Amino acid sequence: MSIQIELQSTIAELVVTGKGILAADESHPTMAKRFKAINIESTEESRRAYRSLLLTTPDLNEFISGVILFEETLGQQADNGMPLPKVVADQGIVPGIKVDKGTLPMANAPGDLITQGLDGLADRLAGYKEQGARFAKWREVYSIGVHNPTQLGIEANAEVLARYAAICQSLGIVPIVEPEVLLDGDHSIERCLEVTEAVQHAVFHALHRHRVELEFIVLKASMIVPGKDAQRKAVPDEIAEKTLKQLRRSVPAAVPGINFLSGGQTPEEATANLNALNALAGNSPWQLSFSYGRALQQPVLQTWQGNPENIKAAQTALYKRAKLNGAARYGNYSAGMEKE
């Protein structure tokens, strides 16, 4: 199969009306934090058991088209001994892999971060592909402050994202490009719009320079929201209006899908905001979807509590959240559906 056909096939299966992506790629420190909240020790076995629960949820493929896995999960098995990537693929869901190696402070740009992991990436991707991964994800993060992100930080992070995406496509792997503008801070929604627009302009300039084919990427984008400590909050309609304004200014129509990250929003907020976006979008050139981690998993963890007897109820909680976000893909979600 040619690389072009591989990329086309994966995009066609990932960017599907009514479906989104489950992010289950939390690092070990993040998983330890999530498990600590429910009094579970994070071990290789406890992580395997939990992720097996997620990935074996019946009928998850009705609303989930792809799952981003952590490297450890690629080599793990479900309770019945089947490799977890195969469990995902057999459900008709595309397995993907987080490939970045986390962030470090950036030299000569105080307050900015840069993501590690380009060294040896092509070799790692080839191995992940053999294990069943068909798409990848790389995240750059941008803090909003009085002087951040700096122009140097914006340009350096864009360059890294473009280099990653080019390497992925050269191997027939669809890249998810994730420039996350962080929710932390007391900035206004207008400041978030300004920063996100600058970030995404730089990203798409870099992707163009590196000859990345935009038809075969997914943009994992932040919604335009005020900082979590901002005095003035925003309602879903305002978030949708500002987010669409920014996307229309920054994102070429060639990009097939924009899958929003939840970025610290509650499950209900993330679904309501996605719903408002789709209700307002009209004839958008892109599919507006979700790539949520905690906003899909939080109710699952609270229900599971590490108890095998709660697995079925926890899977029901995941299916429900996926279904609600599936409704939000059409602009058909309402708060009353939370109680059903």
The answer to whether residues 308 and 40 touch, using CB atoms and an 8 Å cutoff, is no
Q: Is 264 exposed, middle or buried (0-12, 13-18, 19+ CB in 10 A)?
A: middle
| CA gap 29, 216 in Å, rounded | 31
| CA gap 77, 273 in Å, rounded | 35
pLDDT (tens place) for every residue of the chain, 340 residues total: 799 999 999 999 999 999 999 999 999 999 999 999 999 999 999 999 999 999 999 999 999 999 999 999 999 999 889 999 999 999 999 999 999 999 999 999 999 999 999 999 999 999 999 999 999 999 999 999 999 999 999 999 999 999 999 999 999 999 999 999 999 999 999 999 999 999 999 999 999 999 999 999 999 999 999 999 999 999 999 999 999 999 999 999 999 999 999 988 999 999 999 999 999 998 899 999 999 999 999 999 999 999 999 999 999 999 999 999 999 999 999 888 888 7
Nearest C-alpha neighbor of 131 from the set 77, 53, 55, 50? 77
The answer to whether residues 290 and 330 touch, using CB atoms and an 8 Å cutoff, is no
Nearest C-alpha neighbor of 133 from the set 91, 193, 182, 84? 84
pTM of this prediction?
A: 0.96
Q: Which two tokens stand for residue 142?
A: 């941008």
Catalytic residue numbers?
178, 220
Q: Is 323 exposed, middle or buried (0-12, 13-18, 19+ CB in 10 A)?
A: middle
Rg of the chain (C-alpha set)? 19
- How far is C-alpha 256 from the chain's CA centre? 15
The answer to whether residues 150 and 112 touch, using CB atoms and an 8 Å cutoff, is yes
Catalogue the E-assigned strands of 71-182.
Answer: 94-98, 103-105, 113-115, 135-142, 174-181
CATH of segment(s) 3-339: 3.20.20.70
